[in-house]
Amino acid sequence: RIPFQEAEERILGITHPVVGELVSRRWQLPNPIPCCIRYHHEPSALPTPDPIVDALHLADAACLLLGIGGGDDGQLYHVDEATLERTGVTTSELEKIGASVVFELKSVQKLFGME
pLDDT tens digits, residue range 26-41? 999 999 999 999 999 9
Band of pLDDT at residue 12, cut at 50, 70 and 90: very high
Which of 50, 41, 33 lies closest to 17 in space, CA to CA? 41
User: What pLDDT sits at residue 74?
Assistant: 52
Per-residue pLDDT reduced to its tens digit, 41-81: 999 999 999 999 999 999 988 887 777 776 555 556 788 99
User: What pLDDT sits at residue 42?
Assistant: 93
Question: What gap in Å lies between CA 35 and CA 37, rounded to an integer?
Answer: 5
